[in-house]
Amino acid sequence: MDMNELLRRDLIRLIGLGGAGLMVGAGPALGQAKTPFRMDETNAIHFMAGHFMPRFLTKPIEWEFKQFATSGQGRVAAFMRGAVDGIMTSWTYLVQIAFNQLPGTCLAGMAGGGSRLLVPANSAIKSFEELRGKRVGVVEFSFQDIQFIYACKRKGIDAFKDLTRVNLSSPAGVVAGMTSARVDACTIFEPYGSILMIEHGAKMISNLGDDSFGISNGGLYVHNDFIRKYPELTQDIVDATVKATDFVTKDKGAWIARAQQFTGQTEAVAKLAIDNCTPSLDIPIDTIRKISTAMYDAGIHNRDVADVIDKFIDYRFLEKSTGKTKEQLGFKS
């Protein structure tokens, strides 16, 4: 698909990008009464397949993108107060939904990769072990931070005692901390990691996934009220998720163009960021259980919900969309 077609399809988004978000409907559904579906829009490049979902809808759905925050915490808060019907965010927030027994269900995986552990251009640090005694910039208890804590533990390092954690509060804060030499390393997600590498020469020590829970990052969560009231529309949304994920996997040019359009980054930054991402539809329950336990061990939660996380996942829609069994999609008893 060329850039002109991409821009034509997304023109309505550019017109209505303000607080009202984006209203989009699928071609086959035009002229029919439509059911609203409000999706939180994220600028995380590993979740950018979600930006293409509206074009693959076949049912009468009035799709609206809304923006609330760069953090998963803000997305979950908007989700729970009824400001959106769906969110795309990391597995840590599925654990949070389960911990607080919130009315949300994971229906599909989406993101893979998108994380980095970086050091400045002039750093001599080349491994986790050399981080002992150093200052590491984090967005405290973000997914990348939890990946880092767990990776350190696997390598015999206590991330709370063997190094100094510097909470820089936001991805922009992490970039500032690295460029001002406030920290000796950082954990970050895309495109901020690639910005540091392209524009400031930062070097990658790890993609964090390979050293922690694996490459799978997060998924699509839909409010239980919407699922219960509109099961056919829910199926269409999951179908669109599968098609959009396949689309960005096969058409990296469209993915790069959307990343540039939405984040304002250069083609070089967008391409490097996308090279660090691996979309995944699977819902790997063992991975999510490990994340739950890691969050408990880190003191984020006062109980581990690994044994009940399956109650907040529904594989049936994804099974129908993909023709795979839930075991093939990541379920284990």
Is the separation of the CB atoms in 29 and 56 below 8 Å?
Answer: no
Identify the pLDDT of residue 1.
Answer: 41
181-191 per-position pLDDT tens digit: 999 999 999 99
Enumerate residues 6+ apart whose C-beta is below 8 A from 293.
304, 306
CATH number for 251: 3.40.190.10
Is 330 inside a domain boundary?
no
Domain end among 157, 181, 206: 206
Identify the pLDDT of residue 68.
Answer: 72
Identify the pLDDT of residue 69.
Answer: 59
Identify the pLDDT of residue 87.
Answer: 93
Domain end among 206, 224, 259: 206
Residues belonging to the chain? 333
Three-state SS at 90 = strand
Identify the pLDDT of residue 243.
Answer: 98
Residues 263 and 297 placed together within one structural domain of the fold: yes
255-305 per-position pLDDT tens digit: 999 999 999 999 999 999 999 999 999 999 999 999 999 999 999 999 999
Residues 227 and 103 placed together within one structural domain of the fold: yes
4-25 per-position pLDDT tens digit: 343 333 333 332 333 334 444 4
Q: What token pair was written down for 170?
A: 């936001």
Is 298 inside a domain boundary?
yes
Q: What is the pTM of this model?
A: 0.87
Residues 223 and 175 placed together within one structural domain of the fold: no
Is the separation of the CB atoms in 104 and 40 below 8 Å?
Answer: no
* Consecutive H or E run containing 291: helix 285-297
Report the distance separating Cα 204 and Cα 333, nearest Å.
Answer: 36
Residue 228: CB atoms within 10 Å: 11
Residues 166 and 225 placed together within one structural domain of the fold: no
Is 328 inside a domain boundary?
no
Q: Please tell me the total count of domains within the chain.
A: 2
73-130 per-position pLDDT tens digit: 777 888 888 899 999 999 999 999 999 999 999 999 999 999 999 999 999 999 999 9
Task: State yes or no: pLDDT of 235 exceeds 70.
Answer: yes
Is 84 inside a domain boundary?
yes
Residues 10 and 103 placed together within one structural domain of the fold: yes
Residue 228 belongs to what domain range? 3-113+215-322
Report the distance separating Cα 4 and Cα 274, nearest Å.
Answer: 21
40-82 per-position pLDDT tens digit: 988 889 999 999 999 999 999 999 999 875 566 777 888 888 8
Domain end among 206, 225, 245: 206
28-39 per-position pLDDT tens digit: 544 568 999 999
Identify the pLDDT of residue 81.
Answer: 86
Is 329 inside a domain boundary?
no
